[in-house]
Amino acid sequence: MVALTSAAGVISLLDEKSEEIQIYALKKLNSIVDQFWAEISDSVSKIEVLYENEQFKYRNLAALVASKVYYHLGEFDESMSFALGAGDLFDSSLTTEYVETIVAKCIDQYIYLRSNNQMDEISPELEQIIEKVFTRCFEDKEYKQAIGIALESLRLDIIEKAIKAGESKELLSYVLNASMTLVQNLNARNEVLKLLISLFRDLDESDYISMTQCFLHLKDSYSCAETLKSLVNGDEKQLLMAYQIAFDLEENATQDFLQQVLDTLPEPVSKNETDMDTDNAVNDDPISKIRSILKGDLSIKLNLEFLFRNIHTDLQILNATKDALDSRNSMYHSAITFANAFMNSGTTSDEFLRNNLEWLSRASNWSKFSATAALGVIHKGHIDQGLKLLAPYLPQEGVSSSPYSEGGSLFALGLINANHGGEVLDYLRNALNKTQNEIIQHGAALGLGAAGMATASDEIYEELKNVLFTDSAVAGEAAGLAMGLIMLGTSSDKAIDEMLQYAHETQHEKIIRGLAIGMALIMYGKEDTADTLIEQLLQDKDHIIRYGGIYMIALAYCGTGNNKAIKKCLHVAVSDVNDDVRSAAVIALGFILFKTPKQVPRIVQLLSESYNPHVRYGCTLALGISCAGTGMPEAMELLDPLTKDQVDFVKQGALIASAMILIQSNEAMSPKVAPIRKLYETIIKDKHEEAMAKFGAVLSQGILDAGGRNVTISLQSRSGYNNMASIVGMTIFTQFWYWYPLTHFLSLAFTPTAFIGLNSKLEMPKLEFISNAKPSLFAYPSPMKKQEKTVVEKVATAVLSTTAKAKARAKKNEKEKGGNEPESMDTDEKKEETQMEVDTTEKKEEAEKQEKKKKQTFGKLGNLTRVLPAQLKYIVFKDDARYIPVKDIVGGITIMEDRQKGQPEELLEFSTPKQIATVDPQDEEPAPPEPFVYEED
């Protein structure tokens, strides 16, 4: 049979009036359409006419042929429309490219219609194809595929069916993670979470930790409290689980949410008269223990203990930097102050300040404010001693000292109690209301914001509003920020209206900026609820309010990876007339995408080559924020040319971002660490380098070794939640561009990389576990080598040959005279040789030890040790270990189950100093002499 070379003959049959001939033509075209589609496309209108004729029996076949033609033409929407018209003739079970493409288009259309509540527009044919897809997924046991489509199209019935049909525990975990990223609509996500709670509860062993995660996302404090109460009344294992859940809640929830849980829990059992002698009567009550955990005191105390025990700060770096920079320059003085605060954040170690009191005393004005506030970063979490520590600096009635140190001390008090206000809030409110000095008001407002974060307290908000209405630029900026911090994530209409109105009325740019960021904070985590307000702010003629609108996108959609938000930011980054707004738009990408950091280098790659330096600066911080603590090589490659940029502030941003990315990395983990450290040193010592680049290099040194090299920067908690305090701290830190004292807020983003194991009595037992990785891979970076002073050697004096001969003769004569005297020179030489041999042996032994360490393939670790996020996958407990964790190891505070109950336990004691001596630059001044009477002779 001769092969067809043209479809013209078959196409002409469509013009025949006989229905049978037309049917034959369609069947023939259907078989040859893949070969002759280009020729058939000229007559596709004839096929469409047959499809539209309702009297034509084979109109389904006409639709199928038309669909295939449009598919080959690349008109997929038209092709899908005709495929749906083909009915049963379109076999979705086939694995041809055409079928798979049309099915994919159908799924997209189905998801779009359901997610936009356009249910009426879903045709029965479309519904039928989707049902076939689901059926096929179940037959092939591809449950995750079915769940993916069901999640996006909000088919809860299919999600439930798939979970029950497959490995329930694994699929539930998959759905929980996917729902937080795939489901863009907040209300729809809440519906999925409600379904998951019932499924987690129905498991053979109820997954209480995941249930609590869902309650937290749903902001259901009552169910959290009820879960804790039911677990407390269960067996020993359930009690341990209750303690673990309480620690997880404390780490992830807001102060307001925790207070609601505490209000729902029963009051602790009061001591009877008979129990008055027993101090532990209340402490042994499980509900009391849970209440103490939720209040946060225990977590803060444990993290403080970890940081104090494991401090590895290298003061040589700070000393070398201090010696290289002119301390009379307030910018350099502040930079070293910030670097020292970051390096010792939470460690309570103020050794550098004590060793450099004379240098510290040179701080003046706002440098003094920052230097005093730095004590809050160093002693962050030392709640018990906070007021005592800062007593010499805090405002006192009848005593007038520098308002800068008083304001700085109030800010420091807020940082010590960050996100854990408690009783300190009343003290700060009192200090705010008592003073009319704008510098002290500035410090008190920032302190209130840091300590009272997300408390939603109307009283504090009103007091801050009164300070705002004084129209003082300095105090007003801090008040605007603090109002946002207090109302964080509440989306309060009243607060938004008042702040926006005042931002339009005031003439002070500082106040407008404070209010703009404050409004963004109020809409934290609100996603599409914030869209109307975002649009309003972005249309404003004031560029600072548009700047606030961009930060509102960043905070409302932080961590969601929302496409709509990304598109909006990219549009503003290349279209806005103001450089600051464009820069902020790029920075916002870092906040939106921090859960998928690998995407960010690809997205900002072209922007990093922009002619506009502000856009390039935005790229550096976007990379730093999203890839913080990952050591990602792709991000470092993008930053490398920016560290050599011609514009000083771009170079500054690149240096800071590189430190954020490489924090806690050593040379084994990332080969970039050594060159970057060297680059910081070179820039600091280079006298011709720009001041802003030097500021960035000093700050970067502090960030790279933050918290005694025991903290990382992470915008999400160990459980995968958004870490609210970290996100807020990072947001306000990015404002250091306009106001240096705000740099201290970065300390809120520092997360200790600790493993802290607790027993059923919430004590720290001695325990051991294995890290199945080379110890050198996750070791602390080696300390900076001491620079040895180069000694200039004297040039040897020229000796004449006659002089040498004369000396030799004299020496020979002396030897002959004193033949029997002991040869003292020989003895000295022997001693030196022996000493050299000992030194050589010691060096050999040290080298052998180092060699053995390098060859080790695993390491043994104990309680309260540093475990990096990348190290967690290597952590295992021995089969015969006495203590095992009650949940998967994610680091942080972990409740341990004791498998040898009743046996005596070895416990670790707290070593954090109870009493702290204060640092005062005036300490070195000698006391005045005793009174005396001067008498002349």
For position 449, what pLDDT does the model report? 93
pLDDT (tens digit per residue) in 447-499: 999 999 988 889 999 999 999 999 889 999 999 999 999 999 888 899 999 99
pLDDT band at 695 (very low <50, low <70, confident <90, very high): very high
pLDDT (tens digit per residue) in 6-24: 878 888 888 888 888 888 8
pLDDT (tens digit per residue) in 902-918: 888 888 888 766 655 55
Which range is least confidently modeled, 127-131, 171-175, 546-550, 834-838?
Answer: 834-838
For position 788, what pLDDT does the model report? 52
177 or 640, which is more confident?
640
For position 142, what pLDDT does the model report? 87
**Strands, DSSP E only, in 511-638?**
none
For position 515, what pLDDT does the model report? 94
pLDDT (tens digit per residue) in 575-588: 999 999 999 999 99
Q: 0.85 cut: is pTM over it?
A: no
Q: Which of 625, 686, 685 is nearest to 653 (CA)?
A: 625
SS3 415: helix
Q: Is residue 834 pLDDT above 70, yes or no?
A: no
CA 843 to chain CA centroid, nearest Å: 43
SS3 789: coil
For position 259, what pLDDT does the model report? 86
Contact by Cβ (8 Å): 784, 316: yes
Q: What is the mean pLDDT of the chain?
A: 84
Which range is least confidently modeled, 203-212, 526-535, 619-628, 783-792?
Answer: 783-792
DSSP 869: G
By the 10 Å C-beta count (0-12 exposed, 13-18 middle, 19+ buried), 648 is classed as middle
pLDDT band at 164 (very low <50, low <70, confident <90, very high): confident
pLDDT band at 883 (very low <50, low <70, confident <90, very high): confident
pLDDT band at 345 (very low <50, low <70, confident <90, very high): very high
Which range is least confidently modeled, 92-101, 116-125, 364-373, 911-920?
Answer: 911-920
The CA-to-CA distance between both ends of the chain, in Å, stands at 144
| Mean pLDDT in residue range 640-668 | 91
Q: Is residue 823 pLDDT above 50, yes or no?
A: no
| Mean pLDDT in residue range 489-516 | 92
Going by DSSP bridges, is the β-strand pair 711-713/750-752 parallel, antiparallel, or unpaired?
A: antiparallel
Non-local CB neighbours of 603 within 8 Å, separated by 6+ positions: 566, 570, 589, 593
Q: Is residue 416 pLDDT above 70, yes or no?
A: yes
- Give the integer Cα–Cα distance in Å for 226 and 265: 8
Q: Is residue 934 pLDDT above 80, yes or no?
A: no
The proportion of the chain whose per-residue pLDDT surpasses 70, expressed as a percent, equals 88
Tokens of 521: 């904070």
Cα 537 to Cα 333, 522, 544, distances in angstroms: 37, 14, 9
pLDDT band at 621 (very low <50, low <70, confident <90, very high): very high
Residue whose structure tokens are 């259907």: 30
pLDDT band at 838 (very low <50, low <70, confident <90, very high): low
Non-local CB neighbours of 386 within 8 Å, separated by 6+ positions: 379, 413, 416, 417, 424
Length, in residues, of the chain? 937
Q: Is residue 275 pLDDT above 50, yes or no?
A: no
Q: Is residue 645 pLDDT above 60, yes or no?
A: yes
Q: Is residue 729 pLDDT above 50, yes or no?
A: yes
pLDDT (tens digit per residue) in 23-79: 888 888 888 888 888 888 888 888 888 888 888 888 888 888 888 888 888 888 888
DSSP 87: G
The proportion of the chain whose per-residue pLDDT surpasses 90, expressed as a percent, equals 28
pLDDT band at 849 (very low <50, low <70, confident <90, very high): low
Going by DSSP bridges, is the β-strand pair 754-758/892-898 parallel, antiparallel, or unpaired?
A: parallel
pLDDT (tens digit per residue) in 201-246: 888 778 888 888 888 888 888 888 888 888 888 888 888 889 988 9
Q: Cα-flanking dihedrals φ and ψ of residue 393, to 5°?
A: -105, -25
